Amino acid sequence: MNYIAHIRETDRHHQTVEEHLLGVKALAESFGSKMGVSHIAGLAGMLHDMGKYTDAFRSYILEAVNNPDTPPKRGSVDHSTAGGRFLYNLFHAGEIHPIKGLLAEIVGNAIISHHSYLQDFLNPELESSYLKRVRDKRDNSLEEFERTQQLFFQYVTNEAEFESYVDQAAAELQAFIAKAPDESTETKLMFLTKFIFSTLIDADRTNTRLFEENKAGGETWDHEKLFAAYYDKLMAKMKSFAEKDDYDTPINRLRSRMSEQCDLFGEMPSGIYTLSIPTGGGKTLASLRYALKHALTYNKKHIIYVVPYTTIIEQNAAEVRKILMDDANILEHHSNVVDDIDDNDEDLDGLMNIRQKLKLARDNWDSPIIFTTMVQFLNVFYAKGSRNIRRLHNLSEAVIIFDEVQKVPVTCVSLFNQALNFLKTYGHSSIVLCTATQPALDFVEHKLAISTDAEMIEELDDVIEAFKRVEIIDQATRESFDNVKLCDFIAGKIEEVQSVLVILNTKSVVKRLYSRLQTEISGVPVYHLSTSMCAAHRKSMLDEIRKHLKSGNKIVCISTQLIEAGVDVSFECVIRSLAGLDSIAQAAGRCNRHGEWELQQVYVIDHMEENLKHLREIRIGKEISKKILIDLKRSQKNHGGHVLSVKAMNRYFQEFYQKFQLELNYPLPKLGPKITELSLLSSSKQEDDTYYKAYCMKYQKSPPLFLVNSYRTAAEHFNVIDSPTTTVIVPYGEEGKEIIAELNGECGIEELSLLLRKAQQYSINLFKYELDQLDKNGGLERCLDGRVLVLKEGAYNLEFGLDVENDSGFDLSMF
């Protein structure tokens, strides 16, 4: 009998189960080879759909395709449990071999979860959802299990070959555990499990997509040839800069020297390094030069830029595109336009509808150069949903550049450090922490394994002094401001200079100040930047602002902190509401950015109208900064002599992380006083206050498991920011409207993939209360079977974007 994995929509051609299993195995092996675990990944690939070797599934898929109007009951055939059960029965019965038992749990969890998310080995109720599936489940879908095993050995591999393959996988696991002896075994195995899950998800979806599109293989590129061409283009651009008449200045010579240092550093072994070029020092091009040189020297496959906010992705990507002259191979990933579909989509397998097309769309970070955000990076490792974790394996054998790395959310510091340590040690990736204000990530309990002599730039204090273009004026320790007083202060400054930028801590105060300035300052354009605008809209607004600045026109811009993390604008005067030292430094980077004028002023003020009650990170950062300002007021000998010195920044971050010491491991008080994301993901059986200890006390025995972590529970409770958002596409401009129209039409998987990528430029992230309000007012539409949210034209305007008041303060939607 012909056992079927998929039926192609266009010609009703059948993909057999063995074709699919062997195809996924081959892809998973290639992904797994990046970390030396090709057989572990391949084992997951060859077993994941073993449960399709049943008459029940064959009948199910034929009925679903032949009778689309009356399809069989959703989820009536479970085909993902069989492979996990097969491994459990082999290696958890009789004489148990610990390494093979571990292998069975790692691979088995990936298999049973490939239509949802990794299962808990132990959950808060002291139950094992893993064991419920592989050991305890009894239903009609598993009645043919004995026959399924026979068919697997008949068509996919024989027993001797399978045993040999498992032995090779076990040897890989043993070698993996032996590496990095200082790291806990539980942490290693947690990351390995997630990596194997990533390879399986991507291999399964890629093979299915290729079958559906009737293609023999996916798109490939010669990364060595491509990166060599990019490097030549970059060097040609650098040469053209040097040939300009106005090039021979001390600052330009220093920029060139730092760029050359980055080039030489590209020959260093892979590791975790810092690049602390001051604002205006050519950081983007210098880091790209390092990345390309290092990728060529050490055979890296991807260059990934991770930025703190969505607001600067398009700017940085545009700068790189302009030099490399390549649109096709540079991906911008702002957010997930489509949230993960149903928690368990097993019933979709084999049925080609819009939900299946969305699942199969290419969304796996397989581009040579990728720009994404810190939220998306952390989601790959820790958030629920197969769409996120599918990308994880493409973070290995990569150069990853974290722009403005000081913006890592406090609760995620330990999680961030562990992810980077894993990528360095096991993923063979090289990591660059790129900022003028390096955080003390090696000061916390779960330290970042920064390489010895990590800084790329020599004589850093001298470089910082050479790039000094502003002086910080401390108004904060002298007087307090409200919007009335600040409005008068701005009016006075715009009489003295041509351009003023004001950066405040809360959206509500920004908006009130903007409204007041429009009425009180005549003849001067006043701009208000907001993350309620989509990326394309923000770009248009920033282009307008830059034109005014370039022409020397009078202009005032009011913004939240979205503008200070790398946005390339240069104002003559900046006013910054008191916040963390890193924020003050970043705000200073928007003033006299390119040294157009002599020394200019950045005024630090204390704004009394800002309610920071629920914004603890900003409030504590403000308190520490104020103490440092007071110390400097008493004596210029303190903290290296000025507020933005390396010494002052080190002091700031060390005290900041000390204040948040109990929160660095992502605490989960709802689950228990000592439960954290880290404890759920990688606690050992020896630790107290774990579900394992509670299980042993309750049942007076140990659970029959090698792993006892809670992957699913951890993912369900993980949000990079406290208030998670939902992505909505907006009808901005003709292209935005065209994208929405096309999403409402018929399109194939490849067209859908391209549309969803383009849609990110025309999307905004909304809080739940905003979605509820829009739903109530009829401002939302749904397309693609309700999976994609779209804003109606009446709910989006050309001044504010989405004009919904947010009195909660901090502009979280910019992440």
CA distances from 448 to 275, 381, 420, 686, 719 (A): 15, 16, 7, 24, 21
Contact by Cβ (8 Å): 605, 559: no
Strand, coil or helix: 373 = strand
> What is the reported pLDDT for 807?
33
> What is the reported pLDDT for 65?
81
pLDDT in tens, 737-761: 888 888 777 767 677 777 777 887 8
CA 11 to chain centre: 38
What's the CA angle centered on 419, arms 48 and 192, to 5 degrees? 30
Q: How many CA atoms lie within 13 A of 194 on its CB side?
A: 34
Contacts of 46 (CB under 8 A, 6+ apart): 21, 22, 24, 25, 156, 157, 165
Rounded distance between C-alpha atoms, residue 720 and residue 451, angstroms:
27
Q: Which residue has the tokens 């390119």?
A: 594
Q: Which two tokens stand for residue 589?
A: 């980077």
How many beta carbons lie within 10 A of that of residue 792, not counting itself? 15
> What is the reported pLDDT for 127?
94
Which residues of the chain form CATH 1.10.3210? 4-212
Average pLDDT for consecutive 10-residue bins of the chain (815 residues)? Answer: 87 93 97 96 97 90 80 75 95 86 97 93 94 86 85 96 97 95 90 97 92 80 91 91 76 87 95 86 89 96 87 76 85 62 54 52 76 90 89 96 84 92 96 79 78 86 80 91 94 94 89 89 87 82 91 92 79 95 88 84 94 88 93 83 83 88 87 89 81 90 93 92 76 85 73 76 81 82 77 81 49 40
Strand partners, 440: none
Rounded distance between C-alpha atoms, residue 26 and residue 37, angstroms:
13
Rounded distance between C-alpha atoms, residue 355 and residue 785, angstroms:
7
Contacts of 155 (CB under 8 A, 6+ apart): 3, 16, 17, 18, 53
Rounded distance between C-alpha atoms, residue 641 and residue 643, angstroms:
7
Contact by Cβ (8 Å): 729, 762: yes
Contact by Cβ (8 Å): 134, 107: no
Rounded distance between C-alpha atoms, residue 111 and residue 196, angstroms:
10
Rounded distance between C-alpha atoms, residue 342 and residue 259, angstroms:
48
> What is the reported pLDDT for 815?
40
Contact by Cβ (8 Å): 47, 107: yes
CATH for the 4-212 domain, from 2.60.40, 1.20.120, 1.10.3210, 1.10.260: 1.10.3210
Classified by CATH at the fold level, domain 468-659 comes out as: Rossmann fold (3.40.50)
End-to-end, the C-alpha distance of the chain in Å comes to: 52
Stated as kind and residue range, the H or E segment containing 527 is strand 526-529
Torsion sign, CA atoms 723, 729, 732, 736: positive
Label each residue of 327-354 as H, E or C.
CCCEEEECCCCCCCCCCCCHHHCCCCCH
Strands 763-766 vs 272-275: parallel, antiparallel or unpaired: unpaired
Strand, coil or helix: 305 = strand
Say which CATH superfamily domain 223-335+362-464 falls into: P-loop containing nucleotide triphosphate hydrolases (3.40.50.300)
Contact by Cβ (8 Å): 650, 622: no
> What is the reported pLDDT for 810?
36
Contact by Cβ (8 Å): 470, 587: no
Contacts of 756 (CB under 8 A, 6+ apart): 337, 338, 361, 363
Which residues of the chain form CATH 3.40.50.300? 223-335+362-464, 468-659
pLDDT in tens, 298-337: 999 999 999 887 666 777 888 888 899 887 788 877 665 5
State the alpha helices, DSSP H only, in 426-497. 460-466, 483-496
How many beta carbons lie within 10 A of that of residue 797, not counting itself? 13
> What is the reported pLDDT for 346?
56
Smallest CA-to-CA distance from 162 within 83, 236, 220 is with 83
Contact by Cβ (8 Å): 29, 39: yes
Strand, coil or helix: 245 = coil
Q: Which residue has the tokens 């351009």?
A: 499
CA distances from 318 to 45, 143, 324 (A): 38, 57, 10
Amino acid letter, residue 502: V
Torsion sign, CA atoms 142, 147, 153, 156: negative
> What is the reported pLDDT for 784?
73
> What is the reported pLDDT for 311?
62
Contacts of 301 (CB under 8 A, 6+ apart): 34, 223, 295, 368, 394, 397, 398
Contact by Cβ (8 Å): 361, 754: no
Q: Which two tokens stand for residue 162?
A: 């399978």
Question: pTM of the predicted model, to two decimals?
Answer: 0.85
> What is the reported pLDDT for 805?
42
Rounded distance between C-alpha atoms, residue 15 and residue 254, angstroms:
60
Contact by Cβ (8 Å): 104, 373: no
CA distances from 656 to 648, 663, 664, 736 (A): 12, 11, 11, 42
Strands 430-434 vs 398-403: parallel, antiparallel or unpaired: parallel
Contact by Cβ (8 Å): 709, 122: yes
Rounded distance between C-alpha atoms, residue 766 and residue 769, angstroms:
8
How many beta carbons lie within 10 A of that of residue 352, not counting itself? 19
Contact by Cβ (8 Å): 103, 163: no
Contact by Cβ (8 Å): 741, 775: no
Q: Which two tokens stand for residue 433?
A: 């922490």
Rounded distance between C-alpha atoms, residue 218 and residue 362, angstroms:
11
How many beta carbons lie within 10 A of that of residue 56, not counting itself? 18
Rounded distance between C-alpha atoms, residue 334 and residue 337, angstroms:
9
Q: Which residue has the tokens 């409200």?
A: 482
How many beta carbons lie within 10 A of that of residue 704, not counting itself? 12
